[in-house]
Structure 1
Amino acid sequence: MASVATVSSLPDALQEEVGLPPQAAGARQPPPYKPRCGNCGLKHKPGKGSYPAEMLACHNCGKTGHLCKMCRSKGKQVAATEEMEASGIIIAATRNVERQPFIWVKVSIGNNEKKSAKIQVVPDTGAQVCVAGPGLLAALNIIKTSLVNRGNLKDVANVSLKPIGSFTCCIQHGSRTTTQEIYILETATRCYVSLQACKDLGLVHADFPYQSPVVAPTSADVGNATSESADYLLACPDTVPLTPLEENVPQLEAWLLRHFSGSTFNTDRSPLPVMEGKPHSIHLLPDAKPYACHTPASVPRHWEAKVKKQLDEDIRKGILEPVPVGEVTEWCARMVVVAKKSGQPRRTVDYQKLNAACKRETHHTRTPFDLVSGIPRHTYKTTSDAHWGFHQVELQEDSKRLTTIITPWGRYRYRRTPMGHCAAPDAYTRRFDEAIEDIQRKFKCVDDTLLFDNSVEEAFWHTYDFLETCARKGVTLKPEKFKFCRRQVDFVGFHVDWDAFKPTEERLAAIRNVDMPAEPSLTDIRSWHGFVNQLAPFLATAPIMEPFRELLKKPQGKKVYWDENLKEKFRQAKDVICKLAKEGLSFYDKDRPTVVVTDWSKVGIGFVVLQQHCSCHLKEAPFCCKSGWRLALCGSRHLTSAEAGYAQVEGEALAVAWCLRKARLFLLGCPNLIVITDHRPLVKLLGDRELKDIANPRLFGLKEKTLHYRFQIKYLPGKRNSAADFLSRYPALCAPPDATDEEDANDMEGAMAAATVAALNCDDCIVLDSTTVVQAPAEDPEYQLLVAKVTAGDWHPHRAQELVCLRHLYRVRDRLAVSQGLVTYTYGQGSVRLVIPIALRKHVAENLHAGHQGLDGMLRRARQTVYWPGMEGDLQHHRDVCAVCNAYSPSQAAEPLTLTPPPKYPFQHTVADLFQLDGQMYLAYADRLTGWLEIAHFPSGATSSKLLSVMRQYFQRWGAPESISTDGGTNLTSEEMSNFLERWGVERRVSSAHFPQSNGRAEVAVKSAKRLLRANTGGGGSLRTDKVSVALLQYLNTQLRGVKKSPAQLAMGRQLRDGVPAHQQHYKVDSHWRGALRARERESVRQQGVWVERQGATRTLPPLMLGTQVWVQNQETKVWDRRGVVMETLPHRQYRRHLRAVRGSSHPTQPPSPNLILHSTRSHPTHTEATGWPQRRVKQPAWMSDYIAGTQ
């Protein structure tokens, strides 16, 4: 070691030569001496020992006595490094000495008068005494006259220095102190501490300068090395210490561990450093009630010494402090000691009461999957784990009393944020996030941090900045958890590889080793589901967990049903989950084209997200090649009870909306997003259809949820949509009743493997764009002739003289043009439309009809973009032959009502209808002219024989009517009833099913009967009560609208005596009885006219010919799902099914089968109405009771 103090009082030129920084501006310079020295280039007094370079060696020639800039041996070069031994230390002299920054350490210096100041000092291991400038005197309020004169000093160049004086003080760094004498120099601008002071403060070890060779340390070595380190930062190197190659990564990692062993990786500091930021404050609720526990929990005898040592260690580190004597405790929790896995004691604090009374400082932390899935592919990753965590966050002074704990050794309270407090994670993560917010390319989850870089050199400087930031912000990291620049790392429970990630072996082992109790509880089942759901991004967990789904529902008792079958399913589920999760997912790249494939079934919905890794054209996505598209995410879920009842189009739209929301982390804002569906109507619905054009409220809401995303939707047939189709349907395969367990496992593995393949062997639907239209004319000679003709403009003056293949475009020749090799059609001020070649017209028509929006919508869309002669007819034909459109077409328009001839006398035309009220069956029988009402009750059901008996009584009482109107009920249209009416000569008119307007009088009678029977019937719905009789008489005596006569007056010519008192005149036969009946007849005609006017938008439908093929509408689902042939036409537009439910087929009419008998009651198919009621001509089979059609 040098025998003089090292201070920066040398001239700038000499300091630059020996590697020291230049002296600060304004410092006093040595007096100028003449002449200029030929050995050092400086001006000083002559004589031996008077110039600074006398003992220095030249970096050029190696000789002593002069500096290299004054060397006369310019052509000679010494070796790169020469070594000489001095006092057992090897000193290397290099020919290029670069200027290095100073190493600063924060210390506290105080004098004997108890005055102190925190300043930065420079550790100088070559100095024998401590030196400072006059600024230190001002900081400590020391006057110069109080200094002691200690004589002269010499610097490294053997130049005498005259100090102002010296004083003795105490220097503290961390928990170590030393007493040193500091010399004050007028020219010093910094404070330098000597070698002995560095040893006393722990800045260097006690045996310095003797040091063993440095090797790459193990984790144990790192722990031992940092235990003696202090809190100081070393200078940042200008270059990477080693060549930045992968083979040097272990050495670079060891270098970083050594370099920051005294700061970032120093885990044995006392007290612990405080993380930068505002101290954490505990906020109580306004109505919080203090809770204090005054008796400590017992500590096992064999653990007492260890627990007490832990408490003392926490006091030394500044985590805990004893509660001052005499302080009253309002909040006090009990310390509880539990055993670690290793068997050692671990202290915990029961803060449940405090947590319940505290407000939480919320700070969001992203989920592990969100973090890991955002790591770019092919990057080097560096991971670290923070040490001490919450204990590095300082606690506010008035919050310390709330953390008081009681132990067998007394009361303590926390000075730092305690473990177990509900707001501790939020306080810590927020301060940690703010501390490293300037560090780029990072992912952080609580105390785990991952850095990613593209090269080793970039990773080194990135990691260095991160570690230096942590040191300055007071964050301590665990050296044994530090992994630098790795291709593969474990981060937040995932194994992150070079181009994929998957759950760690520890997490899979946890699933593999989990065991269910013999009698599990609902909590056990929920815990198992929650644990497995963490793997949901890697596989569709819904199918595998289907056998356990019912167990999640709240049981009737305290136990959950659990048998041997569920045990076996539980074991199989663990094996399958572990096997499939190992496959992992590819990293999501936001710059790659992305495809989403969705599907819906009656049991669930599923999706897969694929990304392109090939160079194929995007129009063929995502099935251009087997390995070009890789799985980035998949998922599925069960349907709710309401969703299970959705229509197909609603369910498929639900699958798309749910997928976009579930994968919004990847899909929101994606510019190259394609959605694939196997339901063609969605292409238009979720495409360019506006919200105002969607009448279905459910589809409206689902469409609205997709408006946040920009995507192109394409159709893929369901048989080629195997991946998403499996995810939506696989729950049905979880537990087939007739399959063995081995077959279940095989099916599960095979199906799940299909869901995770990177590409599927199927073709994509054809997507037409301008490129396709440009390529198509190469094989179309007609289109080439058209291009040439339009370009040249040499059309013949007469159409007949033009080429035959171009005559169909002759009328629009003035609107045709050629742009970039394509023929365009422009009409007026409209948009430019492409003329489509013949080969592509069919595909264009299919794409225009993809949404099944009908002819009008197809034409509106086509007239914006495309044109070819006869386009309207082609689109009309495409619509007519579409089975989907035919099946889901709207119902036929309502036709005008056929007016029934009014009756001439009472009970000429009657109506009858069966109805139910309060579970009892009744018959309403009414007269069309007078409105007279009869009601019959059938306690045990309305059989044909009972109906005939009642009808016979009515006929005896009022006479047999000429006609009777009924609905198509089996009791009223039975063979017995038909024979009965035929014997009495009564014609029957059967109203059309689902068309009650045709028998409106019967509907009115039923309503009146229900109204007067309510609350009046006897036990079992009996009519044999006075209340029913009085109610019926009141109805019969009530005047009808429009004629001011009651049914009794119209039927009998007088009022009936009831419970309302009246003059005898009312009970006499009215002399104007006949006039009243005529008025009633005219009123009936008038009401029919009013009803016809109310029908509004009606139109007459074309009649159906015998042998015409027709579609028959299901009146429940409104779907045209049955085909038939017209076999018989009847008057009054009747075909057994009302004409509105029968529509002519667009297919050519086929001649009827020679074995098919056709009947017609009219000589020609017109709407001329017969004056009489139709007679039943042919007895039809039972299966044709609703439709007069022969099913093909």
Structure 2
Amino acid sequence: MELDTGSALSVISESDYKQLFPKLPLVQTSVMLKTYTGEKVSPKGKLKVKVTYGGKTQQLELYVLKNGGPALFGREWLRKIQLDWHTIKALNMSSAGNCSPHSVTRRLSQLLSANDRVFAEGIGTLKGMKARIELDEKATPRFHKARPVPYALRPKVDAELQSLEASGILSRVEWSDWATPIVPVIKKGKAEAVRICGDFKVSINPVLRTVQYPLPRIEDIFASLAGGEKFSKIDLAQAYLQMEIEESSRKFLTINTHRGLFQYNRLVFGVASAPAIWQRAMDQVLQDIPGTQCYLDDIIVTGKNDEEHLQNLSKVLTRLSEYGLHAKRSKCEFFKSEISYCGHVIDKHGLHKSQEKIEAVLQAPKPENVSQLRSFLGLVNYYHKLLPNLATTLHPLNTLLQTGVKWEWSEKCDRAFEEIKRLITSDELLTHYDPTRPIRLACDASPYGIGCVLSHVMKDGSERPIAFTSRSLTSAERNYAQIDREALSLVWGVKKFHHYLYGQRFTLVTDHQPLVSIFNPRKGIPVMSATRLQRWALYLGAHSYDIEFKGTRQHSNADGLSRLPLSTTEEEKTSSLDPAEVFHTAVVDQLPVTNTEIQRQTRNDPTLSKVYNITMQGWPAHGNSMFPEFSARRDQLSVCQGTLMCGSRVVVPSKLRSRVLENLHEGHLGTVKMKSLARSYVWWPGIDKQIEDLTKGCSGCHRVQNAPPQAPLHPWEWPSAPWQRVHIDFAGPFMNSMFLIVVDAHSKWPEVIPMKSTTSEKTIAALRSIFSRNGVPELIVSDNGSQYTSEEFSLFMKKNGIKHFKSAPHHPATNGLAERFVQTFKKSIKAMEKEDISLQHKVDNFLFAYRNSVHATTNQTPAMLFMNRNLRSRIDLLKPDLRREVHNKQFSYVPIKAARHFEIGQEVLARDYREDKWTPVRIATRTGPLMYTVDVGEHTWRRHVDQIKDAQPKNNTLPSSDLPPSDDHTTNINVTPATETLVLDKIPATLDVTPQVTPETLS
């Protein structure tokens, strides 16, 4: 028991009660206890026990707590037992040493229970330290757009983003100079969950100022653990996420998703400087604790005996608790006689070379044919310069390779084989791991195995192996395409040698050329790569590496191991389903055909069956001229569950394509959304063109689709003098008022009249006032407002000899000059909202500034063109050659394409704005370059060409399955930029009106 004068009563845990006093009954008690943090604790009960001390026995009460720690000797017992303090101190001083196994187990359990906060669920938060991300001084922001997320994964990605945001790991931001794309990865064994991974190697990693803090060497680790009897290992849960990022550094960790921008608030896997930052922080957390060593997220604790081990372990757990760190209990080990760490075995006798490093060679099976023997000898010959008398030793094996010699594995061959394996794994060839030397990891895959060799590059340029590894492929892995098997060897090798490679710069070596591009650390993860390759690329992206291609003949060390692999372990045989398989199932479930149908039709398809076989065996280095569409995408092709995949999309056989297209078109979504939907599920050569043909040939889509593409701008002819043509419109209600806007087309001179009423009578009165100052224009352009279409307004125009041109209904672009000025006027008046002046004062200020400012189209002020002088102001800019410059500017916005043309009497569809639909009509007359009148029963409408389209769609049908596949076709949509002056139709000659006014009077 522990003496605790702060405890009023003596207590034990429920587990100790069941172990020590199982037959003594518990008595209910109403006593309520409080912990040192103030929490109330209700005992399970109490019991009476016999306590013997100093030859005297008494019956005392002992209280039982459900989750108690060590047994406590409280003040109640202290009053009844007279302790000899000198004896107690002497006993404590001489009590160090090994404990009984039962005692160690009990005390360890108590220790872990007392520090249960360290093993709590959730992510901890490191207190007192935050990570700082520093970039090169010349680094410029890199903003990458969000990558498309397959529809099958979007709900899972949304849920994970929401979870990370709720837990405070991510925060939503409105904008950022930096943005890293994400790739969602299905969590292994959890088909319903994804992990969000940032592809930082395309954003901050290339310009990151790496923290120069060394990871501990194996010699340093062993030195701090030397003399230990037993060893404990603590695994920190999601270590990096437990460290917050400084506020100023968070902008660099912005990720771009389909839901917008998010910023990481914690250190995240994939940032190149994360290992050094974390190692430095952990060294500070655990400093001065003896018998302790940390390597990234693993902490090793030991002691010269059990007592010291427990004390050190207690200090470590207390320190972790103080700093707010969490560990994963299921991955921790305690009081082990030996422990594997950084590729070595550590026990009380010292540091040992792990047999795993050389097992791949020592346990390599005997070759069964010439091909396997040749691969093994390729491994041996790779190191021939380092192996003495090699030719003599290999003689019996080389004999079997000679032409005409029958294969017969003799005793001499067996002895030579074993001797060669001994030489390769001897200390003469193997070298110790040294983090200061360059590291290379060579990996290769055969149809049935994978092999990897970890090596150092010595000063003379030669390679000396550090460790070997190999294994057989599982039955599922043997069905992988060749590119997937080769990629698997790289990823498995990096995982196998994680403790050697993580936090160090190393070189990956492969003999599969496409992987050099896919796994290139200076390139982004290809969006169209297979799901499995994307997941592996993200794992590799968290490491600092280069990747190098070597031809097969120069790659014989890894090639030999892959062709004589160790048998697969039970753990690997029973591993959970590959997330790529889960994703494939999710994709196929969305299609109107079954996976069985796709597999059967793929085998029967004359093209896909051959492409399938080439993908499984490996594409030639320069592709295949017979299948150019597939050869161009060979780096994206893979096989999953017997189905040919292009990235994450199923390659649909020709006989099933019509059914798939019909299913994609069920919702009549239109061309763009159909393509977007297809890109999440399916692919075949020419799919985009077939989708376009399908939507164009659908009569239902044609009737309800949006208006046809807008006709090219048809510029008004620029008036040669002021006040020849004016554009009028109403602005408002705005600021509780209506305003009549009048703009001169030549000079851009505006007039703005506040209006209490917008009737024809009041509008005519306002125009009469303006005309009295500026004269009567030749032409007025307006919309179809009721005040402009009334008989009263028409008579006013006719009497004053003014031509009146009205735009087509619901087509404001015709009167673009006035419409654009209304926007400018409203924006400027609103900007003066806080100024303490009247509305009329604001309007006057705006008009003075506008009239005396250079206009973007004319490069002159409206005042200069209208009055031949500027208003008295500081601005006085004159530009020569004005007319030609204006014409050039206007015509520069006119696209080359011609406007659509309709014949008189042609049956067409015209826009009916009463019900927002297209109505069959007949072309009656053409009133201008882009204007027509159309007959609608007994009525006549005026319509712009943008409001008219052909009556029937082109006669296209679903693509036949036996049509030859064509190249993908992408529609390019050219958008003409809006200009300040939206210029349209020239004035038809039919609108001439004979003047009805004398020079002296305004009617």
TM-score, structure 2 normalization:
0.32
Give the TM-score normalised by the residue count of structure 1.
0.28
Larger Rg over CA atoms:
1
The higher-RCO structure (CA 8 Å, 6+ apart) is 2
